[in-house]
Structure 1
């Protein structure tokens, strides 16, 4: 039967360390403890006094001062591994844990699981070919030497890196090694651990290389296991269930995560909150249980990411009060004026207000300053307006007490047009085709930050055709979308010609439509 030697790295909370050691060794397993040399000496004395009588617990001979991202974490792990190998000759597996880890299966289940397959469990992906590293340094972790801790001495860390780059001090990776990367938390068989210890005794050059790599706990064991063990004997995953947020921070588990943790295809979970006392109590009882059956669904990671995404848009558990209905309403009419020259569209809307009783709202999805009523916060930011676009319009319909409404959109808002035109409501588009002089395009370039007051004329001359083509392309995209009820008002046409699309768009008689089309200086810049 499998006998596990747990390699425990910890730096605080002596009470939790003592309970964890007592709980895990009660089932006949072992533990080697490394308490960070920076920890409170009183904590170390207390842990030793409580656990020294336990024959299944041993301590490292030399404690290391640990720092995140440093070789010290690997050094501490090796110290604990050596202590465990020497103290527990009957141990068949070595399982790396932190003080924040808790078993999420029974000891009975864990032993049967490890007996079922003669394998090592460790994440190990190709360092250069995989996308395991999401942000930050990549090959710089390996090809440059790192002597300073990025968290404690940030300026020195990056200054050293920059000077090495400038001086071309790149170094070679040991040629016989394929560097791998993965989670720090592993479970390895005894013969694999012994091979690693023999290898590093024979290859001081490899140890020297990893001593000055950055975050070597994610590469050292991962690389050596792949180098020494046949691929068929490696399960490329960790048996410790852990999640990371989008910010690269570990997700913490609390009392209400009990059922989720038990359903994961893992033996331990990290990190369990120190405050989650009920969760710790229940998991402690579980580890000592006999005959417990586990239903493995393994949905934890996907469920977390799904809920995280839903949370960002306020839909983690239920729709917000304004989102109980997703349509604008089958009986409503949304009239959209699409125009690149916002001042032209605003003049037209002002005239429509004067001539009709149709509510009009200007560029609400383009200008934060657009005047809107208080709608419970949905109107507060541009991000909310876009995310809850239909809800926003539905609330405006209700605010105005009307079934018809005119809004303005920029031609670049094709996604909004597609959304609104796909609604069950009646949607009509009135695209205003304006003429764009060079002076107008220069002003537009300055408004959007493409040019400034000191931009040379030759630069503007190269820029203007691009801007003009982009505006033409926006109009082409709208036409290519094939929207129903798509009407056009053109600057080059007479008021009489423009009255017809206006009448159809607004549902007005020809005389009133002509009066709107004859608005003074409608197209003036």
Structure 2
């Protein structure tokens, strides 16, 4: 059975470190600790004294002062790994942790998972081909030498960088290495760790290179492991659940996140709030519980993204309009039907298709499976359709030989509606205002991945009001935009009331519009 040697890098909160060490080692696992040499000496002595009689705890032979983005973090990790390899010969896996991490599964569950596959778990994406680095320096992290800490010696850091850049003092990346990048929270097999340590002793040139790269804790192990281990023995993922805000800050978990954390497909979570004493207590008990019946819904990241992006529609991170110079044509008319209940819009559009000569297309920018003619590949993916939206619609107008076209869009796509209204063509917009039960909203959350069949009821109860507000907010955004030629039909209105808006939207006689409004089961879920 797997025996884990935890590699703990920490710099504060000695009581939490002591509790963490005792909890994780009580299940038979072990731990090597590196406590930052910058921390208080009294805190260090307290940790050593409290854990001195624990045979499953050891300490890095050498403590060093660590700095964010600096080689010192990697060196501290290597010191702790060396101590663990030497002290715990029966350890089969080495799991990197911080003092802010806690287990979100039991020891039995973790051991079973690690025994299941003979692989290493480490994020390792191609440094140059992946989009892991979103902003800031990329190649510059590697091809220039970084001798100073960017956070504590900002002036020296950028002076040295700019001087090298001005003089063209670049350096080559070791020719036999494919530089990789990823999270520093890995879990490696003993054989892999021993190979990495051997590599560090044999390849002094590589060690010199990484010592002066910037943020090497995101590249060192990720590169070396990929170099010494066959690709099929690597799972390019971390077993530690972590999320980042859109400001690049780690998301912190609190007492009410217990059920959410347990339902994620990870063994540990980072980072737990220092003040979340109830959560820490429950997670500590969980690791020793022997429980293995965890239900994985894995909606955490999608749920967080959904909750934090409310109110930003059309403002931040909106898709770029790649083709603003391309017009659908002044003589053409685009009729947009928008509804959160896609099946209701599709039902109405099908009736329009049957009772008029208008070409109609369902949610072509929302559903990959929407039937479309072959237009040379531009229609093949949602990403292509969205990026080339105006070109796609011009080709559809041409394909159908019509100057009028009906399409469906989700109300969340306000930016796209605004883009089409900015065109020289004539745009008309019909909103279908539906009623929403809690059961329908829960089904919607499951369809879009915000919840799963096994999402805890407490999470569902917190989620439903947010989704309901989101639906209302999207509708309000559309109305507040004051689009010309905007019409609205309501589920709560009778067919007679809905007839006039349909007639105006489609430019058809009222008797024909009334037949559409009287469509059987139009609003039925």
TM over 0.5: yes
C-alpha distance in structure 2 between counterparts of 1:87 and 1:221, whole Å: 21
Question: Match of 2:486?
Answer: 421
Q: How does 1:371-520 map to 2 (within 5 A)?
A: 388-390=476-478, 392=480, 416-417=483-484, 421-424=486-489
**Alpha-carbon spacing, 1:163–1:304, altered in 2? closer, same or farther (3 Å):** same
- How many pairs does the alignment contain? 346
Contact 2:487 2:505 in 1 (8 A): no
Shift of 1:311: 5.7
Deviations 1:8-32 (A, max 9, x none): 0000000000000000000111000
Shift of 1:114: 0.4
1:281 maps to: 281
Rounded Cα–Cα distance in structure 2 between residues aligned with 1:210 and 1:422: 62
Question: Scaled by the length of structure 2, what TM-score is found?
Answer: 0.62
How far did 1:421 drift?
A: 2.0
Residue number in structure 2 paired with 1:93: 93
- For 1:468, the equivalent position in structure 2 comes to none
Change (3 A) 1:205 1:310: same
Question: Does 2:125 match 1:125?
Answer: yes
Name the CA distance, whole Å, in 2 between partners of 1:297 and 1:167.
Answer: 54
Equivalence for 2:302:
302
In the alignment, the residues of structure 1 paired with residue 61 and residue 290 of structure 2 have an alpha-carbon distance, to the nearest angstrom, of 36
Once residues 179 and 144 of structure 1 are traced to their aligned partners in structure 2, the CA distance between those partners, rounded to angstroms, is 15
CA distance in 1, matches of 2:290, 2:231: 34
Q: Counterparts of 1:267 and 1:214 in 2: how far apart (Å)?
A: 29
Indicate the SS of the match to 1:72: helix
Check 1:311–1:61 CA distance in 2 against 1; reply closer, same or farther (3 A cut).
Answer: farther
Cα RMSD, aligned residues only: 2.8
The alpha-carbon deviation at position 165 of structure 1 amounts to 1.1
Confirm or deny that 1:205 pairs with 2:222. no
Offset from partner CA, 1:362-384 (integer Å, 9 cap, x none)? xxxxxxxxxxxxxxxxxxxxxxx
Partner of 1:84: 84
Equivalence for 1:22: 22
Q: 1: CA distance between counterparts of 2:10 and 2:49? A: 17
Q: Any stretches of 5+ residues in structure 2 without a counterpart?
A: 314-338, 341-472, 490-497, 508-525
Distance 2:285 2:27 in 1: 12
Q: What SS is found at the alignment partner of 2:5?
A: strand
Output one character per residue of 1:116-165: Cα deviation in whole Å (capped at 9) or x when no partner.
11000000000000001111111111111111111112122122111111
Structure-1 residue corresponding to 2:116: 116
The 1-side partners of 2:112 and 2:241 are apart by 18
Cα distance, 1:386–1:280 mapped onto 2, change above 3 Å:
closer
Instruction: Report the CA distance shift for 1:311/1:46 in structure 2 as closer, same or farther (over 3 A).
Output: farther
CA shift at 1:312, angstroms? 4.5
Q: CA 1:114 to 1:20, structure 2 compared with 1: closer, same or farther past 3 Å? A: same
Determine helix, strand or coil for the equivalent of 1:53. coil
Q: CA deviation at 1:229?
A: 0.2
Q: Secondary structure at the residue paired with 2:177? A: coil
- Verify: 1:223 aligned to 2:223, yes or no: yes
Contact 2:5 2:84 survives alignment (8 Å):
yes
Counterparts of 2:255 and 2:273, CA distance in 1 = 9
User: What does residue 160 of structure 2 align with?
Assistant: 160
Q: Which has the larger radius of gyration?
A: 1
- The answer for the alignment partner of 1:244 in structure 2 is 244
Quote how far apart the aligned CAs of 1:483 are.
Answer: 7.6
> TM-score w.r.t. structure 1 length?
0.62
Query: C-alpha separation between the residues in 1 aligned to 2:182 and 2:83?
Result: 24
Q: How far did residue 292 of structure 1 move?
A: 3.7
Q: Could you say which residue in structure 1 is the equivalent of 2:44?
A: 44
CA distance in 2, matches of 1:387, 1:169: 56
How far has the Cα of 1:386 moved from its partner? Answer: 10
Q: Which residue of 2 aligns with 1:448?
A: none
